[in-house]
Structure 1
Amino acid sequence: MKFSSQLQSATLLKRYKRFLVDLHKEDGETFTVHCANTGKMTGCADSGFKAYYSTSDNKKRKYAHSLELTEDGQGNLICVNTGIANKVAYEAIQAGDISQLNGYDNIASEVKYGNENSRIDILLSSPQQPNCYVEVKSVTLLEGDQGYFPDTETTRGQKHLRELIHIKNNHQRAVLLFIVMHNGIESVKAAEHIDKKYAQLLAEAKSEGVEIYAYKAQVTPSEVKVIKQVSVLDT
């Protein structure tokens, strides 16, 4: 996924009220940008990090700028706009870059499904085979040399795992697709120390036949694109 316009950079001062981040420019200007991320963003939004933001031409927006990327103390770029993960996954599937999801005629996004009033991120279909329901998760938490998901307790994520188990039990394909959006992460593991219930449900989903894959994206200020498959480790 290419950014529609060139991202600008500034220094991150602080994140607050979940969706707001204050940035500081070299010329001394301090301003507030919108942050599309509901997680804790542990290790992704520390004061002093370099930040990259986009600017909207929509005059009705309260905040014209959006936080897209940060750069940690080790120089790793991190895509903190979680909505981008779905776009990256969609483009990668269309391009045939996720081999396990090739061979479908149609691809759709945000389709209603399940027993808990959910929307699947990506639905793949073909007349000759069962539908494939793909739930996409953005991975940005790095602790030591290990990537984890989630970075906070997620009842929504738990719900999605229950929905995928139900889909699999109804003889459709169910896939959990982790998109690694942190250049420093090389494998993914359930964050049992953060959300024990999610880790338990992930193990249950795997035992029930839900397919679990992780693909790493290369994050740059111009583009975020899937480059390779990485391991999903058991807890």
Structure 2
Amino acid sequence: MKFSTPLVRGRLVKRYKRFLADVILDTGEEVTATCPNTGSMMGLAMPGAAVWLSVSASPTRKYPHTWEMVETDLGRGPVLVGINTNHPNRLVADAIAADAIPEVSGYATLRREVKYGVSSRIDILLEDPQKGLAYVEIKNVHLSRQDGLAEFPDSVTERGAKHLAELGAMVAAGHRAVMVYLIQRSDAERFSLAADIDPRYAAAYEVAREAGVEALAYACHLTPEGIALTRPVPIEA
């Protein structure tokens, strides 16, 4: 996924009201940017952090800048971390179309945001006359509290637990169901659930796995020019 124009760099002043962030650009200009992330962004919203913003040319945008990435360092040098939760679905869809995720390759068609379950939409529905249906749910991952370990979630997510239950119901109905944890950072060497942050989600995950829901974790490579899904990451029990 390429950005339409390279991102601009600045320093975070503060994040507030969940969806806004004040940033001083390297040019010295202070701007208010949209923050497309509803989570806690634990460890990623520290004042003074180097951040990267995209800029929209739309005349109707109240805030032309959107916060895309933040630089963080857990001891092995700075790493870019993607915080925009609007990107993972596109990244995974593009990767599936390019056969870059072999676990879910070979399906005839791919549709996004298809209604299913109880008032929900599946991120990706794969369909094939021979393979049948595969329901693919995608979660954005950016939390890391230990070097090399990516974790999800970074805050309590009742909606996430609901999605796991609905995926389990799809397996019970005779279909495939796959949870993809898309890690928007390149330093991830393994993935685990943050059970201390949301024990109910961790419990729902175990129930879903026992029901036959599959789980995958993939890391990304990030630059100010774009983001690309790169490699699978082992999931720790």
TM-score (norm. length: structure 2): 0.95
Residue 144 of structure 1 deviates from its aligned partner by 1.4
Contact 2:185 2:222 in 1 (8 A): yes
- Stretches of structure 2 that go unaligned for 5 or more consecutive residues are none
Residue 27 of structure 1 deviates from its aligned partner by 3.8
Tell me what 1:179 maps to. 182
What is the distance in 2 between the residues matched to 1:191 and 1:162?
18
Residue 183 of structure 1 deviates from its aligned partner by 2.2
Tell me what 2:16 maps to. 16
Amino acid at match of 2:34: H
Tell me what 1:107 maps to. 110
What is the distance in 2 between the residues matched to 1:30 and 1:61?
17
Residue 59 of structure 1 deviates from its aligned partner by 1.2
Tell me what 2:219 maps to. 216
Matches within 5 A, 1:54-133: 54-73=54-73, 74-114=77-117, 116-133=118-135
Contact 2:188 2:233 in 1 (8 A): no
* Runs of 4+ that moved beyond 6 A: none
Tell me what 1:151 maps to. 154
Amino acid at match of 2:68: E
TM-score (norm. length: structure 1): 0.96
Tell me what 1:166 maps to. 169
Residue 79 of structure 1 deviates from its aligned partner by 0.6
Residue 6 of structure 1 deviates from its aligned partner by 1.2
Amino acid at match of 1:139: V
What is the distance in 2 between the residues matched to 1:177 and 1:159?
15
The root-mean-square deviation of aligned C-alpha atoms, in Å, is 1.0
Residue 31 of structure 1 deviates from its aligned partner by 1.3
How many pairs does the alignment contain?
A: 233
What is the distance in 2 between the residues matched to 1:28 and 1:225?
30
Tell me what 1:44 maps to. 44
Residue 7 of structure 1 deviates from its aligned partner by 0.8
Contact 1:189 1:233 in 2 (8 A): yes
Residue 121 of structure 1 deviates from its aligned partner by 0.6
What is the distance in 1 between the residues matched to 2:31 and 2:199?
38
Name which of 187, 193, 197 aligns with 1:194: 197
Contact 1:142 1:184 in 2 (8 A): no
Contact 1:70 1:78 in 2 (8 A): yes
Contact 1:134 1:176 in 2 (8 A): yes
What is the distance in 2 between the residues matched to 1:217 and 1:169?
32
Contact 1:130 1:171 in 2 (8 A): no
Change (3 A) 1:3 1:40: same
The secondary structure found in structure 1 opposite 2:166 is helix
Q: Alpha-carbon deviations, 1:168-213, whole Å to 9, x = none?
A: 1101000000111022222111110000000001011111110001
Contact 2:22 2:33 in 1 (8 A): yes
- Stretches of structure 1 that go unaligned for 5 or more consecutive residues are none
Change (3 A) 1:27 1:55: closer
What is the distance in 2 between the residues matched to 1:174 and 1:140?
23
Percent identity over the alignment is 40
Contact 1:141 1:148 in 2 (8 A): yes
What is the distance in 2 between the residues matched to 1:97 and 1:25?
36
Q: Alpha-carbon deviations, 1:101-127, whole Å to 9, x = none?
A: 01101001111111x211111110012
What is the distance in 1 between the residues matched to 2:37 and 2:26?
25
